[in-house]
């Protein structure tokens, strides 16, 4: 087991954490990534090294996502086959909780293990509100009940590292991207309750509430934007074709063909990142879903309009219902990729720490 700790401008709490981890579990390795903290923090990293950690890094700050990937590449190169637990350097994760996550990874049969806080006690307002919004938006978009989407305490089995390195993101959005793309990759998520610790009202955190919250929400916004765009194309096409032909069936089919093509391309390349899989497979699966939704849409539109509901209103009711079904089928089936198989013992050349 390797405990991976990304650190940007850390203080003495990093050294204390390394000391406690080394005393509690001498068998696990500790890898600290200096994310471009600068010469003023050299003494802190020297202290961490003296306490028993291996310290690597680079001169320019690149963000937490880049630091984690640099550490994962290093582990893949020099410690192949080792599971990884990622923890923050600012004292928010206790040694007991870190080791609990490590133990759970060993038992979790390939799952991603999250250390989930419950946000009880004296929690800073920005942290409480930010996590609440992120949690609700994540569950709405994915159906997955993750309580703490922003936790930095996470455990990954060795066989997951290739996939971890393939997920995009340079800063705090990287860890949410992992959650958003896990289901499509066939990766289960387990959550273990941990202690909620905020020191000095989270003053040491480098999370930027406005900028980084927007980045964290970006994957969710992309899906909503894709869906709204397809809806607009479909609704406009339906009204235009119906006005020209007077045929409900032709209007539904024609509008859906155009909107489905746009939606498929956007979802595949920008939302679910299924472009690494088989294009033919994705097209066939998407067409199957589209035909099922088309038939359902036609039936419901016909029923609702016969009941006297205006066409546009009937369209809104029908598509709102089918939206939720479509999203979950696309994430779980259409753009799903096979889970990453372990590659224990394989060595990958690490030419530099450039993530």
Same domain, 57 and 85: yes
Claim to verify: residue 19 and residue 7 sit in the same structural domain: yes
Range(s) of the domain holding residue 313: 219-334
Residue 342 lies in a domain: no
Same domain for 256 and 325, yes or no, is: yes
Last residue of a domain, one of 175, 197, 216: 216
Total domains present in the chain: 2
194 and 158, same structural domain? yes
328 assigned to some structural domain: yes
Decide: pTM greater than 0.85. Answer: no
Please indicate, yes or no, whether residues 116 and 186 belong to a single structural domain of this protein: yes
Residue where one domain finishes, among candidates 159, 194, 216: 216
Distance of CA 125 to the CA centre of its chain: 24
Same domain assignment for residues 76 and 140: yes
Task: Tell me, yes or no, whether 355 lies in a domain.
Answer: no
- Is residue 350 a part of any domain in this protein? no
- Within a domain: 8: yes
Residues 106 and 174 in one domain: yes
Strand partners, 114: 154, 191
- Indicate whether 118 belongs to any domain: yes
CATH code for the domain of 73:
3.90.550.10
Instruction: Burial-class residue 313 by CB neighbours within 10 Å (0-12, 13-18, 19+).
Output: exposed
Say if residue 149 is in the same domain as residue 248: no
Q: Which of 181, 200, 216 marks a domain boundary?
A: 216
**Helix 173-182 vs helix 64-78: crossing angle, to nearest 10:** 60
Per-residue pLDDT of the chain (355 residues; tens, 9 = 90+): 999 999 999 999 999 999 999 999 999 999 999 999 999 999 999 999 999 999 999 999 999 999 999 999 999 999 999 999 999 998 888 999 999 999 999 988 889 999 987 765 555 565 566 666 666 767 666 667 787 888 889 999 999 999 999 998 888 788 888 987 887 788 889 999 888 775 544 444 545 555 545 555 565 677 778 878 888 898 899 999 999 999 988 998 888 888 888 888 888 777 765 555 677 888 888 888 878 888 888 898 899 899 998 888 888 888 788 877 777 787 777 876 544 443 333 333 333 333 3
Sheet holding 84-86, edge to edge: 54-58, 29-35, 2-7, 84-86, 154-156, 112-116, 189-193
Residue 230 and residue 209 share a domain: no
In a domain, 344, yes or no: no
In a domain, 340, yes or no: no
Are 202 and 305 within one domain?
A: no
Residues 177 and 71 in one domain: yes
Based on the fold, state whether residues 270 and 175 are members of the same structural domain. Answer: no
Q: 108 vs 114, 176, 189, 243, CA distance in Å?
A: 11, 20, 9, 57
């Amino acid at each position: 087991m390797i405990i991976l700790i990304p650190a940007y401008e850390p203080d003495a709490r990093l050294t204390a954490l390394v000391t406690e981890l080394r005393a509690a579990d001498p068998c696990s390795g500790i890898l600290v990534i200096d994310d471009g903290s600068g010469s003023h923090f050299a003494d802190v990293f020297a202290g961490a090294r003296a306490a028993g950690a291996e310290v690597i890094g680079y001169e320019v700050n690149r963000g937490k996502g880049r630091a984690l990937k640099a550490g994962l590449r290093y582990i893949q190169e020099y410690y192949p086959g080792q599971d990884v637990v990622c923890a923050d350097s600012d004292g928010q994760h206790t040694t007991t909780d870190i080791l609990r996550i490590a133990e759970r990874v060993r038992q979790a049969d390939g799952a991603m293990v999250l250390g989930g806080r419950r946000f009880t006690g004296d929690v800073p307002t920005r942290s409480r509100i930010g996590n609440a919004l992120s949690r609700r938006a994540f569950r709405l978009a994915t159906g997955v009940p993750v309580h703490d989407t922003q936790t930095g305490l996470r455990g990954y089995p060795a066989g997951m590292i290739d996939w971890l390195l393939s997920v995009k993101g340079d800063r705090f959005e990287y860890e949410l991207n992992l959650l958003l793309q896990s289901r499509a990759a066939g990766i289960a998520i387990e959550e273990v309750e941990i202690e909620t610790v905020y020191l000095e009202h989270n003053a040491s955190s480098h999370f930027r509430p406005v900028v980084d919250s927007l980045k964290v929400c970006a994957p969710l916004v992309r899906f909503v934007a894709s869906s709204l765009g397809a809806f607009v194309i479909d609704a406009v096409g339906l009204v235009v074709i119906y006005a020209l032909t007077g045929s409900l069936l032709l209007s539904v089919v024609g509008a859906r063909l155009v909107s489905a093509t746009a939606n498929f391309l956007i979802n595949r390349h920008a939302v679910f990142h299924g472009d690494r899989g088989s294009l033919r497979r994705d097209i066939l699966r998407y067409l199957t879903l589209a035909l099922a939704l088309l038939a359902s849409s036609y039936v419901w539109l016909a029923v609702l309009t016969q009941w006297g509901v205006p066409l546009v209103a009937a369209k809104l009711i029908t598509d709102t219902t089918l939206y939720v079904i479509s999203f979950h089928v696309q994430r779980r089936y259409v753009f799903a990729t096979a889970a990453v198989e372990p590659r224990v013992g394989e060595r990958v050349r690490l030419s530099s720490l450039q993530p």
